[in-house]
Amino acid sequence: MILLNKIATILAQPLQGPVDSVIQYLAIDSRNIVVPAQSLFFAIKGPRRSGISFISEVYQQGVRAFVVDEAIDESKYPDAVFFKVANSVQALQQIAADHRKKFNIPIIGITGSNGKTIVKEWLYQLLQPDFNIVRSPRSYNSQIGVPLSVWQINSQHELGIFEIGISAKGEMQSLSQLVQPTMGVLTNIGDAHNEGFSSVIEKVDEKVQLFAYAKTVITASDYIPTTVKTNATIVRWGSKPLPGTNNELPELQLLEQQKLSTETKLVLRYQQQRFQLQVPFTDEVSIQNVMTCVLVLLQMNYRISVIQQRVMQLAAVEMRMQLRKAINQSYLLNDSYSNDKISLSLALQFLKEQANQQPIIAIVSDIVESGETEEQLYQDVANMLASSGVKTLYAVGPQISNYFSQKYSAHYPFTAQVFASTEDLLQHLHETMFQQNYILLKGARKFAFEQIAHWLEQQVHQTIMEINLTAMVHNLKAYQSMLLPSTKMMAMVKAFGYGSGAGEVARRLQQQQVDYLTVAYADEGVTLRKSGIHLPIMVMSADEYSFDAMVNYSLEPELFSFEILTAFHQYISKQGIQQYPIHIKLNTGMNRLGFDMHEVDALCKWLSTQNLLRVKSVLSHLAASEDANEDTFTQMQVDQFSNAVKQIEIALGYSFIKHIANTAAIRRNALWQFDMVRLGIGLYGADNVHQANLPLQTVATLKTTIAQIRHLKKGDTVSYNRSGVITSDSIIATVRIGYADGYPRRMGNGVGKMYIKGMLAPTVGKICMDMCMIDITHIPDVKAGDTVELFGKNISIQTVAKDADTISYEIMTGISLRVKRVYIEE
């Protein structure tokens, strides 16, 4: 914690406001403000938007202290404090640097072109049994991420592990003064950000500035030339004598390595002692990172026997390279986070190991800021592709296209096709280009290769579901008109937005400034984040396997039992994160998920004795809010909820959002609204409250087309088991939809109706997997290719649900993802 008057002193700024106000949180993201009253928001200029454009939003959340480096109309924000500085990022670093000076603990500072995060996480795994460690969350290694990491240090910490990255000359000095590592680690030197330096030596000189306060620097034998000057003692590992010396050997020598199916056996020598090490990885990158970690532990005087035991227990760190299933039984390695020769080489090596003789297709963009001539750069790229077994290259961008179209030598064992841009490639892509391949997607950020990844993972089907976004906004406003002025709106976009397409729906809801989004599972939230959604997102079904994804994508779990609550608390503790937002679910009568009422006392005690988690809301679920006959039970739920949240609020000592009302409850009783309501199926035009006072519009329309028409005689049969018997000469149409698309099997044999040319056509026979048949005898001028509506404006989804003896929710969410969604704006 720090007082505002201390911040004013650090920044050499006058303070006009309460001098004794306490700041505990440094905030740069309007989505992740935990305690507004104790937050200092830094308005940082971005590539597209300025930080000051978020000040109004942040102010509305309750933040009253700001650091700005642009002009701001302070009159709009009464009782707010503004520190006007030359550079908001530098101000952030200044405040964090002052905080760092308060602690005299050993700090390991890690820098390098690749491997920083893995080395940091593995050092944490290796050292955590002996130290209370503070470390960089995720890949917080930038000019902004480093000070936010250092700000986490508190008096309980015994060791710090921070990663530091730079992209240009002059950036490291301020970060060195900020972190002041006592031990340094240089993982490697690659091509990333070469454009910011005149030579490799200059880049190394810049990076080693991090170690100005360090006594020891750990690195591989090739990465710090003997000509580079540093006051620290450089300790190296390697398999060969040090370059530029008279056969001087590195301190840790790699003598032998034997790769097995799931592990690698190493033979090492340190201080004349020879020993073996079993590493639970086989790829070369992991071996290099393990060697770095081992040398750190040796320099910290760990016994070799302890190192051997702990290295065997190392767990893989999930990074950016992930194989995913793609079209036509292919696999996609989407590694488009960065693009330089080193990372390209690592990705190719990884994919080659995974492909196991299957053909590899590489989609590669221009490599930017390499500092090399185009000819030399792309000649090296061509050699890497050839040696990795690539069969086809799709080169994207003017530089790489120029090389492979004009200077490409045909002796390379792969074919090359060139495209001027990502859009150019997308226009030429066809599914037949990929058949049981392993596909590498490697592009610089500016090429937006996520569009290609989306295309490669797409599923194509003629049947479509139209989503009318204009109608959805109308329905949202209809429900908002029923809310009290202070009531917030949480929109449910779980189950693929009730089958409507979560990303597209969420973007429109974000434009309409709803307060919260809710999904059922973490992967749905990840999809929204990748779609550019920055609203807070609550995940209803949290489990231990999803914790990493939730934290990585700023998703907020709903926790409903002591088991899941303690598991998440333990995970957050291991991640070195504090005050992570959570939502507590209470069971007041639904008897599905939630803490029971008799557990509230224990829950209050547990929550009040920890500080890693921050309760953003407490909620419960009404079981029968749509039914007036169950109002007594509903009111009982509401009363239990009200009493429980009062008890929790007293125990915590701070307020949080309270919500229990679902779609039906919004309409039926304003007293059930509390602080926020959850709008679900009503958003999509379906509501199970039997009242006619809310003019909802149809959002979803399921359509397909007629594949074939045939004329049948009396006595003929249709579909499996001859289930549809023709009682008179008839015209039968086969339509392109079946139960695999989500059309229920129980809709067969005349139960279901479809709308075509102004009339209803009953189903005939059983519903097949991909097709079904309808009787169009009474409908004139029908031909193959005509459109058929299964539900929409002409057949309500409520009618379909009634015919299927189910509810609208099941029909909406049951529509298969192979059914293409088309979005309409009126």
Q: Are 235 and 220 in contact (CB under 8 A)?
A: no
Residue 164 has which token pair? 């530091």
Whole-number Å distance between alpha carbons of 432 and 451: 18
In the residue annotation, 720 being an active-site residue is answered as yes
Q: What are phi and psi of 717, to 5 degrees?
A: -125, 160
Closest listed residue to residue 187, CA positions, set 108, 136, 286, 111: 111
Count of beta carbons in the 10 Å neighbourhood of residue 442: 27
Mean per-residue pLDDT, 142-160: 90
* Position 193 pLDDT exceeds 60: no
Q: What is the pLDDT of residue 42?
A: 95
Q: What is the pLDDT of residue 423?
A: 93
**Which of residues 193 and 465 earns the better pLDDT score?**
465
Local confidence band at 460 (pLDDT 50, 70, 90 cut-offs): very low
Q: Which residues lie below 8 Å from residue 339, measured CB to CB, with a gap of 6+?
A: 364, 365, 366, 367, 368, 442, 443, 444
Q: What is the pLDDT of residues 754-771, one digit of tens each?
A: 999 999 999 999 999 999
Largest Cα–Cα separation, the chain: 100
Mean per-residue pLDDT, 16-31: 80
| Catalytically annotated residue among 720, 757, 793, 802 | 720
Mean per-residue pLDDT, 170-194: 83
Local confidence band at 346 (pLDDT 50, 70, 90 cut-offs): low
Mean pLDDT of the chain: 87
Q: What is the pLDDT of residue 58?
A: 92
Q: Of the given ranges (48-57, 92-101, 774-783), which has the lowest mean pLDDT? A: 48-57
* Position 605 pLDDT exceeds 90: yes
Tell me the residue type at 763.
T
Q: Is 554 helix (H, G, I), strand (E, B) or coil?
A: coil
Q: Of the given ranges (83-92, 200-209, 361-370, 540-549), which has the lowest mean pLDDT? A: 200-209
Residue 47 burial (C-beta neighbours within 10 Å; 0-12, 13-18, 19+):
exposed
Q: Are 504 and 465 in contact (CB under 8 A)?
A: no
Mean per-residue pLDDT, 344-349: 74
Mean per-residue pLDDT, 616-620: 96
Assign 3-state DSSP to the chain and report helix, strand, coil percentages, each to 5: 35, 25, 40
Q: What is the pLDDT of residue 458?
A: 57
Mean per-residue pLDDT, 489-493: 91
Q: What is the pLDDT of residue 320?
A: 46
Closest listed residue to residue 348, CA positions, set 441, 451, 444: 441
Whole-number Å distance between alpha carbons of 622 and 233: 65
Whole-number Å distance between alpha carbons of 776 and 757: 10
Q: What is the pLDDT of residue 459?
A: 47
Whole-number Å distance between alpha carbons of 343 and 743: 46
Q: What is the pLDDT of residues 160-177, one digit of tens each?
A: 999 998 877 778 888 999
User: For 423, left (φ over 0), alpha (ψ -120 to 50), or beta?
Assistant: alpha
Map tokens 């059914």 to a residue.
Answer: 819
Q: What is the pLDDT of residues 647-688, one digit of tens each?
A: 999 999 999 999 999 988 988 888 899 999 999 888 888 776
Q: What is the pLDDT of residues 591-603, one digit of tens each?
A: 999 999 999 999 9
Whole-number Å distance between alpha carbons of 118 and 122: 6
Q: What is the pLDDT of residues 538-592, one digit of tens each?
A: 999 888 989 999 999 999 999 999 999 999 999 999 998 999 999 999 999 999 9
| Catalytically annotated residue among 116, 494, 585, 658 | 494
Strand arrangement, sheet containing 133-135: 133-135, 159-163, 107-111, 183-186, 216-220, 233-238, 252-259, 264-270, 273-279
Q: Is 416 helix (H, G, I), strand (E, B) or coil?
A: strand
Q: What is the DSSP letter of 69?
A: S
Mean per-residue pLDDT, 366-370: 70
* Position 322 pLDDT exceeds 80: no
Local confidence band at 407 (pLDDT 50, 70, 90 cut-offs): low
Q: What is the DSSP letter of 223?
A: T
Tell me the residue type at 714.
K
Q: Which residues pair with 440 in a beta bridge?
A: 333, 362
In the residue annotation, 477 being an active-site residue is answered as no
Q: b/e string for 306-323 if b means 16 or more Cβ within 10 A?
A: ebeebbeebeebeeebee
Q: What is the pLDDT of residues 503-551, one digit of tens each?
A: 668 877 887 889 999 998 888 888 888 767 889 999 998 889 899 999 9
Q: Are 362 and 434 in contact (CB under 8 A)?
A: no
Whole-number Å distance between alpha carbons of 641 and 619: 8
Q: Is 183 helix (H, G, I), strand (E, B) or coil?
A: strand
